[in-house]
Chain A
Amino acid sequence: MEEIELIRRFLGAVRRRALLAQALRAAAATVAALLVAFLILGAWAGRVGPAPFWPTLTIAIVLVFLAAGLTWGWIAPSRRLRHERAVASLVGHQVPPLASDLLSAVELAPDSPGISPTITHAFHASVAQAVSPLDPRGLVPLRAAAKMGLLLAATAMVLGLAIWKTDLRRGLSLLVRNPTRFEGAAITGEPLIGDVRIIYTFPAYTGLAARVVEGSTGDLVALKGTKVTLEARLLRSAREARLLFGDAGEAGEGPAAVAKGKLTAALTLRDSGSYRVWLSPRLGRPVREARPHRIVVETDRPPEVEIIGPADRLELPAPRPVEVAYSARDDFGLGAVDLVYRVDEGAEHRLPLKEANGTRSAQGKTLFEVTGVTLPPGARVAYRIEARDRDDVSGTGNTGNVGKTGSSRTLYLTIQNPRENLDEQLQREREILDKLLATLGDRLEMGEPPMAPAAGAAAANGLAYLSSWVAIHDNEESHLALLGRMVDEERRSGSASKTLVNALAGIADRLGKQMREESAQLQGLRGRADQGALTAAAFGKLRSAADKHVVELESAVLLLDDLIGRQRLEDLAALGRELTGAYKRLQDLLARYNSTRDEALKRQLEREMRDLRARIEEMARKIAEVKARNEVSGEWQNMPDMKEAMEKAAKLDQMLEKGDPQSMSKALAELGSTLEQLQRMLDKNADDFGSDRFPQENKLATEMMKKLGDLEGDQRSVAGDSQGLAGEVDQEVQKRLKGEADKLLNGIKEKAEALRKKLGTSAPREAGEVARDELERSQEAAKQLKRLIPAQELAEAKKETERLSGSLKRMRRSLDDRATWRKQQSPSTEAFSAEMADAQKLAQELQDDLSKLVPRPEEAMSQQQRERSRGLGERQGSLQERGRQLADEMGKKAGGIPGADRTGEELKSIAERMGEAGGDLQRGSAKEGAGKAQEAADRLAKLRDGMGKRQMGRSQASREPVRIPGADESKAPREWRAELMEAMRERAPERFREEVRRYYEELVK
């Protein structure tokens, strides 16, 4: 290689090194400058706030800085060092002794004219030799670049620390993005709009009319889904307007039209929040309101649902229909009301109860029965009422249907298994009977003690005889223990009648006494045996006591046998009654099906038929078992032949399949006649058995029934006399008002109609919930009046009017309170208040008119009638006393007559009713007293009949529906019940709710 090339290579390395050092330095400096610039801009932007120029400014600064850096760090040095001379100078600057030679060497080309190539070459060689030890890194150090790097690091650190400051961070963020309208607008504390008018168009499902609010503040308050039209006068000129939603415009914006100085916007309310008006002037920065307008979206509450069943946790011996009452209310209108149930952990089923079609409240009663599946013993059914509203705005619920769902509390019913219980119980009783009979057999077969000629043999035989006695004694003792356990269990479970338990306990007691005596004697004999003095004569006492024991044992087995027989026959008779009950239900269903041809009814018929057939089969099986086990002696085995009933049921099934109504009716009638015959036979069997085998009980029961019958007769007499008196009083009143009555009545009719019309409005939302509720009650009362007045049920009508007046009064009070509180009422509320004031006036007039027609008892009665009424009250009082005494007597005889305890309880309750009747009569309220007296007489008759059908054992599972206590039987006046039911609607504190419910139910009873 030539020496000049070596020199050039060296210079090239120096050049590259110099360029790198400069580039690094310039880059660090540029970045550091940018950071400083960002710091300053950020701080500035933080102060100034969002503005559209920030991103532009930022970009410009970045570009300038980058251009400067590039020029300084790359373009300028590259240009400066582009010739070798410049590089040689740079080196010469660093190594002065070499400066001249190096520059000369660069300038002196090898082929330079006039200069000897050899000299040139030698020169180049000496310069090359001189530069060869030089390192370009040493010649061009990076110190300056490093320093700049340090500066950059320091700047970055400062920026890093400063960025924690929110304002700076916010400022920095503003540098890189365009602001929203909200951010971009100027804020003004002055209103931008005035004379605001808001039109609310409520969702269709609410049925509410559109509402216009004039002079509004701009706040929006309405139901979700409500469409709002906002109209306002612009207080500043603007070319564009918007509504900005959310506290910082984050919820978006809505368009608003601007025309002729007016702003118009439309929106649908979905969520609560706020909005601001934003205006863009023709010139200048847009402006927005400083304070937002509120948007309050009111919630449509889900329906409130109440359920009332016979009990919260109902245990039934077998599946039966259960009466369920329900009420549902919604603030805007109900949709479907369903009964929802679930068997154990199975899927939920839904039974539609009612389609309320938008009414605000719905109530009703239904007979709930699980269909489609057979509820096994132990099955638990959870059921509740669900009501949906018609809210199609809030989306669908979990049922997939429109509307929100409200649910009542959940009630439960559990299925017991009484028949199995009875079968088990009878099985145990039979086992004891068999054991006692075996013992009786052993005792009867014991015979006389053996006599032996030889003393030794006599002793041995006597010992064997004694051992046999002891074995029998021990056996009987274990049987009695078994019996005792059974009695204890029966007492604990409380499922059997007292009479049965007492009878079983009596057996155990009597035999126990015999056993104790025998035990003592056996002990004595054992002593004698130990002494070797056991002779035949020694058994004399034991033998004579044994005769008594045998008599007792005989009585015990006979009684036990009778008890078993009676329970079994009663069970069969109850099953027979169930069959006829099922037949009657079928008859009813068939009649309905024949008239409607409803497929659902047909399916129900088929289900009932299956059920009936299963019961017939059960009955056949039981009868066969009774015969096979000889549970009752032959004379009581007069059981019906079930074959015929089964054949007829099968025939009916076939007819049902064919669907020929006439044949079905005929086949059902045939089956019914067979079942009724069967029931009669089983009833008679059970009755005759009871009379024959339990004559003492029968005598007692007859005696008690006679007393009940006497009481009932006397009660009927008081009821009749009271009714007579009430009738007379009514006539008197009618007579007194003769001529005037018709005129008065016509006036009442007209007023009632006018009142009904007046109340036929709906309360504005502003009127509040109390007003709405009271209006509803008033409407219901007006509806009742429409029925009662033409039916001449004037006393009832009067009470209804009183209640109506009360409702209207409460409504007025509530409206007044709200008016005071709100200060300013909407015109619609004012109009409503005025209407209600008129209605109240009308109601008062109506009440006054009715009071003329229905005077108070003391006004209506003559002196003599008042005395008669008092006399009747006294008679009723003495009957009440007799009732109480008889109830006590019943209670005492509970052990002797099955069901006497329950009869006693019911009698006590009847006596109380008698007392109430007596009180009414004493006060001169003949009509009320007569009603109560009549009710007491009817209940007495029912009680007496029930006593005739008393049962020793467990009662057979009935198929009759389980009613809500007091729902139908109640004789309490309608209005009183209605008030109570209303009161029930008022929410009690959660922890008292159940108690309150029970209290009301008891009251209504």
Chain B
Amino acid sequence: MKLGFLLMLLAARLPPDMTEDGRKIEQLFDEWRFDEAGAALKVLAQARAGSPEVIYLQGYERYLSGDYPAAVTKLKMASTQAPAAAYIKETLVLAEAAGEAVKGHMEKRSAHFVLRFPPEDAVIADDALEGLEAAVAVLTADLGFVPKRPIYVDIYRNPSDLAAVSTLTEEEVERTGTIALCKWARLMATSPRALRFGYPWLDSLSHELVHYAVSSLSRDRAPVWLQEGLAKFLERRWREPASAELPPSMQHLLAKALASGKLITFEAMHPSMAKLPRAEDAALAFAEVATAVAALHARGGAESLREAIGHVRDGMDARQAVATAASTSWPQFERNWKTFMAAQHYKTFPGLEPVTRKFRKAGALAGKRGPNEDEAVSGADPAARFLRLGNMLLLRNRPRAATVEYEKGAKVAGPSHWLFPVKLGRTYLALGDPEKALKSVAEVQALYPELPWPSLIAGQALLAKGEPAKALLALRQSLATNPFDPTVHCAMADAYHKLPPGPDITPARVARAERHCIELR
């Protein structure tokens, strides 16, 4: 995600003291042609065994294969032999940081993936691998992407780890809300525990997998806007059919831009979307490129996407490639795209306050607690008083009194604030009134799909109402944002028990939900 922030590091630092063969091998690595690069390296290693260049490339190869300790050993050796080579040192720093960031992590494998995660986040492993396998299946079907080697997925405890393993600074990660990356032949993501309200981590992993696929298929030649367009468009494909549906926050921005005619041009997105002046502009640009890909998909289906990527791989300009895949010219494609957007009838949502991704403070991270809805209101907020009072009363089993306080809070906070409806929904559930609970969260659930709690309350309410199938959908959405809440797992286990077994309701899933329900408490 937001790959534009990543400079073409390796390309920018061409090693001057490398042989032509060495440079070629490095380029093959950078074009994600790992098999070819590996074969060429073997030949070179025979010819120039023990040379710093060969050791460096071997280290680089290990790094790209996710074997950081071996990479560090090789790169250190190379650096000792060629102390002046900055590119070796830079790669060594990255490999060391990558190794450090996954130190003490657990590892779990599936058919195509190797997931490394902090032990306290073990709850995400099975769902992550399931989601990724589902995503790779649809990408194989849609884009023809078949992974030829295990894909490493590293989950980091905090954003500073993500910054350390990438070329981004901590400040950039904080400011842009970057939570996942695809680079150096692996997927990297920050644990949803590190964010105040979690984040759609399964969609994000899928998003990064799309980048991986596109980089592999295009030899990493797709520009950022096309990468992001495809990733955004395909990120939910693992769980639902392809569509031009956008989350409310993006719809809102796009609808406003369409109404005012202030869309971000593709020229402005070049060379990096990160260069756009405002975060809002960047968000709008993401929405635009996603709909551009949706428009292409609408016209030619998945085949057109494959074709566009193929043209890019062959060296065609991305815009030209898209237009060619759409069997038209770029200006015409642009016009068609705008018409397509207008046809989607994207809505504005007055009062919508986009949920900004905020990382939790170091103390909260060290506390190893899961995301917490109460962090939505700061102490200085006038509504905070009622939130605390409601919580205190609820904790002392006074739900009726708590609703009075939450209602006061909702009044003070205004209709757009999602927290008090969530709190009221929870309290109504405690009072045994699921209907009222569902009503309370209905609006915020629609407006803020990136939040776990509206879906959780809705799922619990639906379950209480005797609608386990619908409940399961809502609960899965909540789980895909915050997997650390035991109530989600408990409710899911409950729902599973109320539903007949099927491909979605396997004994393994039921057992998992039950286990997590107990373990996370």
Contact check, B363 vs A685: say whether CB atoms are below 8 A apart.
Answer: yes
Give the CA-CA distance A757 to B372 in the complex, in Å.
Answer: 80
Contact check, A441 vs B366: say whether CB atoms are below 8 A apart.
Answer: no
- The 8 Å CB contact of A438, one of B367, B369, B379, B398, is B398
Set of chain B residues within 8 Å of A442, measured between Cβ atoms: 401
Asked whether any CB of chain A lies closer than 8 Å to the CB of B404, the reply is yes
Cβ-closest chain B residue relative to A562: B388
Contact check, B388 vs A638: say whether CB atoms are below 8 A apart.
Answer: no
Contact check, A641 vs B366: say whether CB atoms are below 8 A apart.
Answer: yes
Contact check, B379 vs A692: say whether CB atoms are below 8 A apart.
Answer: yes
Cβ-closest chain A residue relative to B389: A554
- The 8 Å CB contact of B401, one of A440, A635, A639, is A440
Contact check, B366 vs A561: say whether CB atoms are below 8 A apart.
Answer: no
Give the CA-CA distance A444 to B404 in the complex, in Å.
Answer: 7
A557-B389, A638-B361, A638-B364 given; A441·B369 CB < 8 A = no
Give the CA-CA distance A444 to B393 in the complex, in Å.
Answer: 10
Contacts of B354-378 to chain A: CB distance below 8 A: 361-364, 366-369, 372, 374-375
Name the prevailing secondary structure of the A interface residues. Answer: helix
Asked whether any CB of chain A lies closer than 8 Å to the CB of B395, the reply is yes
Contact check, A437 vs B366: say whether CB atoms are below 8 A apart.
Answer: no
Set of chain B residues within 8 Å of A557, measured between Cβ atoms: 389, 392
A554-B389, A634-B374, A635-B374 given; A441·B364 CB < 8 A = no
Cβ-closest chain A residue relative to B400: A445
Contact check, A634 vs B388: say whether CB atoms are below 8 A apart.
Answer: no
Set of chain B residues within 8 Å of A554, measured between Cβ atoms: 385, 389, 405
Contact check, A437 vs B363: say whether CB atoms are below 8 A apart.
Answer: no
Contact check, A558 vs B374: say whether CB atoms are below 8 A apart.
Answer: no
Q: For the complex, count residues of A whose C-beta is within 8 A of B.
A: 29
Asked whether any CB of chain A lies closer than 8 Å to the CB of B391, the reply is yes
B 388-427 binary contact with A (CB < 8 Å = 1; else 0):
1101110110101100110000000000000000000000
Contact check, A437 vs B396: say whether CB atoms are below 8 A apart.
Answer: yes
Contact check, B372 vs A438: say whether CB atoms are below 8 A apart.
Answer: no
Give the CA-CA distance A693 to B361 in the complex, in Å.
Answer: 18
Contact check, B398 vs A633: say whether CB atoms are below 8 A apart.
Answer: no
Give the CA-CA distance A684 to B385 in the complex, in Å.
Answer: 22
- The 8 Å CB contact of A693, one of B367, B379, B389, is B379
Cβ-closest chain B residue relative to A635: B375
Set of chain A residues within 8 Å of B374, measured between Cβ atoms: 633-635
Give the CA-CA distance A695 to B388 in the complex, in Å.
Answer: 17
Contact check, B388 vs A561: say whether CB atoms are below 8 A apart.
Answer: yes
Asked whether any CB of chain B lies closer than 8 Å to the CB of A709, the reply is no
Set of chain A residues within 8 Å of B404, measured between Cβ atoms: 444-445
Set of chain A residues within 8 Å of B369, measured between Cβ atoms: 634, 637-638
A638-B361, A640-B366 given; A441·B388 CB < 8 A = no
Asked whether any CB of chain B lies closer than 8 Å to the CB of A472, the reply is no
Cβ-closest chain A residue relative to B404: A444
Give the CA-CA distance A554 to B387 in the complex, in Å.
Answer: 12
A433 to chain B, nearest CB (A): 8
Asked whether any CB of chain B lies closer than 8 Å to the CB of A299, the reply is no
Contact check, B392 vs A561: say whether CB atoms are below 8 A apart.
Answer: yes
Asked whether any CB of chain B lies closer than 8 Å to the CB of A434, the reply is yes
Contacts of A684-729 to chain B: CB distance below 8 A: 684-685, 688, 692-693, 695
B196 to chain A, nearest CB (A): 10
Give the CA-CA distance A434 to B396 in the complex, in Å.
Answer: 8
Set of chain A residues within 8 Å of B379, measured between Cβ atoms: 692-693
Contact check, B401 vs A558: say whether CB atoms are below 8 A apart.
Answer: no
Contact check, B392 vs A437: say whether CB atoms are below 8 A apart.
Answer: yes
Contact check, B393 vs A437: say whether CB atoms are below 8 A apart.
Answer: yes
B121 to chain A, nearest CB (A): 14
Contact check, A440 vs B389: say whether CB atoms are below 8 A apart.
Answer: yes
Set of chain A residues within 8 Å of B372, measured between Cβ atoms: 634-635
Asked whether any CB of chain B lies closer than 8 Å to the CB of A681, the reply is yes
- The 8 Å CB contact of B389, one of A558, A635, A638, A692, is A558
A558-B385, A638-B367, A638-B369 given; A441·B393 CB < 8 A = yes
Contact check, B392 vs A684: say whether CB atoms are below 8 A apart.
Answer: no
Contact check, B401 vs A445: say whether CB atoms are below 8 A apart.
Answer: yes
A 10-32 binary contact with B (CB < 8 Å = 1; else 0):
00000000000000000000000
Set of chain B residues within 8 Å of A633, measured between Cβ atoms: 374, 388, 391
B160 to chain A, nearest CB (A): 14
Set of chain A residues within 8 Å of B362, measured between Cβ atoms: 681
Contacts of A649-705 to chain B: CB distance below 8 A: 677, 681, 684-685, 688, 692-693, 695
Contact check, A637 vs B367: say whether CB atoms are below 8 A apart.
Answer: yes
Asked whether any CB of chain B lies closer than 8 Å to the CB of A630, the reply is yes
Set of chain A residues within 8 Å of B405, measured between Cβ atoms: 444, 554
B316 to chain A, nearest CB (A): 52
A 621-653 binary contact with B (CB < 8 Å = 1; else 0):
000000000100111011111000000000000
Give the CA-CA distance A638 to B374 in the complex, in Å.
Answer: 14
B195 to chain A, nearest CB (A): 14
Cβ-closest chain B residue relative to A692: B379
B142 to chain A, nearest CB (A): 42
Give the CA-CA distance A630 to B388 in the complex, in Å.
Answer: 12
Contact check, A640 vs B392: say whether CB atoms are below 8 A apart.
Answer: no
Set of chain B residues within 8 Å of A437, measured between Cβ atoms: 392-393, 396, 398
Contact check, A441 vs B367: say whether CB atoms are below 8 A apart.
Answer: no
Contacts of B108-155 to chain A: CB distance below 8 A: none
Set of chain B residues within 8 Å of A681, measured between Cβ atoms: 362-363, 366
Set of chain B residues within 8 Å of A634, measured between Cβ atoms: 369, 372, 374-375
Give the CA-CA distance A677 to B380 in the complex, in Å.
Answer: 28
Give the CA-CA distance A462 to B379 in the complex, in Å.
Answer: 40
Set of chain A residues within 8 Å of B400, measured between Cβ atoms: 441, 444-445
A 761-786 binary contact with B (CB < 8 Å = 1; else 0):
00000000000000000000000000
Set of chain A residues within 8 Å of B364, measured between Cβ atoms: 635, 638
Set of chain B residues within 8 Å of A639, measured between Cβ atoms: 367
Looking at A437, A677, A695, which has the most chain B CB atoms within 10 Å of its CB?
Answer: A437
Looking at A442, A444, A685, which has the most chain B CB atoms within 10 Å of its CB?
Answer: A444
- The 8 Å CB contact of B363, one of A434, A440, A445, A684, is A684
Give the CA-CA distance A638 to B367 in the complex, in Å.
Answer: 4
Cβ-closest chain B residue relative to A550: B404
B159 to chain A, nearest CB (A): 16
A218 to chain B, nearest CB (A): 90
Set of chain B residues within 8 Å of A438, measured between Cβ atoms: 396, 398
Give the CA-CA distance A640 to B362 in the complex, in Å.
Answer: 11
Set of chain B residues within 8 Å of A641, measured between Cβ atoms: 366-368
B404 to chain A, nearest CB (A): 4
- The 8 Å CB contact of B395, one of A440, A630, A677, is A630
Contacts of B315-370 to chain A: CB distance below 8 A: 361-364, 366-369
Contacts of A434-455 to chain B: CB distance below 8 A: 434, 437-438, 440-442, 444-445
Cβ-closest chain B residue relative to A561: B392
Set of chain A residues within 8 Å of B398, measured between Cβ atoms: 437-438, 441, 445
Give the CA-CA distance A688 to B368 in the complex, in Å.
Answer: 18
Give the CA-CA distance A677 to B362 in the complex, in Å.
Answer: 11
A83 to chain B, nearest CB (A): 141
Give the CA-CA distance A434 to B392 in the complex, in Å.
Answer: 9
A837 to chain B, nearest CB (A): 75
Give the CA-CA distance A442 to B400 in the complex, in Å.
Answer: 10
Give the CA-CA distance A685 to B391 in the complex, in Å.
Answer: 20
Contacts from B to A (Cβ < 8 Å): 361-364, 366-369, 372, 374-375, 379-380, 385, 388-389, 391-393, 395-396, 398, 400-401, 404-405
Contacts from A to B (Cβ < 8 Å): 434, 437-438, 440-442, 444-445, 554, 557-558, 561, 630, 633-635, 637-641, 677, 681, 684-685, 688, 692-693, 695
Sampled A-B contacts (18; CB under 8 Å): A437-B392, A437-B398, A440-B401, A441-B393, A441-B396, A441-B400, A444-B400, A445-B398, A445-B400, A633-B374, A635-B375, A637-B367, A637-B369, A638-B361, A638-B364, A638-B367, A640-B367, A641-B368
Q: A440-B389, A638-B366, A695-B380 are in contact. List 4 more A-B contacts (CB 8 A).
A: A444-B405, A557-B389, A558-B388, A635-B372
A-B pairs, top 4 by smallest CB distance, nearest first, are A638-B363, A441-B401, A441-B398, A638-B367
